Amino acid sequence: MSKVRSIPSFATLLQDFFVERLMEQRAVSQETISSYRDTFRLFLKFASDRVRKSPSDLTLADLDAPLVLAFLKHLEIDRHNSTRTRNVRLAGLRSFMKYAAYRDIASLAVIQRVLAVPMKRCDEPLVGFLSREEVQQLLVAPDPDTWTGQRDRVLLATMYNTGARVSEILALRVGDVILGPSSCVHILGKGRKQRTVPLWRSTATLIKRWLPRIPDAPSHRLFPNRSGNAMTRSNVADRLRIAITRAKEQCPQLRKRRVTLHMVRHTTATHLLQSGADLSVIALWLGHESTATTHCYLEANLEMKERALNAIQPPHVKKSRYRPPDRLLQFLESL
């Protein structure tokens, strides 16, 4: 006689989702784990307050579509999250519900209603980027007479050279950098995809001068904090803010700009495009899975559009208005 499988509790399902599905079966990155973790921290607190149960006592039946919709509304109205952030949180909940559908057949009706909650459409803003003059002032802004200033100069130069995401830059180790006639850096990107990006001579020189200031073990972080540990995203954002403040003294137009970490990545892509690099090359440079993602830089590149406009000479043929040659055609044209 076969044993009847017991239905796992919600708490068991959630723990198995993180340990078995995400970590063991899919081997997702730590960044993905952190994103899903933060989603469920917010959601469980909200659900616990609404249902008046502790998170461990919640059931899948409690987490129905109306509760999920209320949570998404709470994110946008009370927490002032963007539509994109709202969609990221919903993606995390959907991923869990798809996993739960295989483990708890009795809750399929509730799960299907949650999976039917749609992503919200949002505007696609043009990407912002810095001019070459603004980038130059940013790269020389950190104080070269201090340890942190030297690190920040190399950090910003490497970010601009590689166009890497902040998480990718912070994950770089000493052993990932190859210095020589053809200097390059090995980057582990999204989806555990590895890519190699060439280093400009100026960037390679800065890194070569920086390496004696940190332990030379290949496994050591290339950009540590003063304690020798890994920097965080907020650390890098603070250092960028300090550099921008100093750069404004020499580059007044930066006072009207809101410069973000991701804007440095956009700047790299745009400058590569302006230099004539093909979209497929830029996609490989940035670690994009598809050139469709890279296409947004074409939309933002006004300089290339102006060159195309100037290349088109106005036609010298005189245009005349079309007149139908027949009365019946004239009648049809007037309709």
**Annotated active-site positions, please?**
165, 190, 262, 265, 288, 297
Q: Over the range 235-260, which residues count as b (16 or more CB within 10 Å of their CB) and which as e?
A: ebeebbebbbebbbeebeebeeeebe
- Sheet with 194-198, side-by-side order of all strands: 177-178, 184-188, 194-198
State the DSSP H helix or E strand holding residue 167, giving kind and residue range, or none if neither: helix 166-170
Given a contact cutoff of 8 angstroms between Cβ atoms, the answer to whether 195 and 184 are in contact is no
Between CA 53 and CA 32 the distance in angstroms is 28
Alpha helices in 8-142 (DSSP H): 10-16, 30-51, 65-77, 83-103, 108-115, 132-139
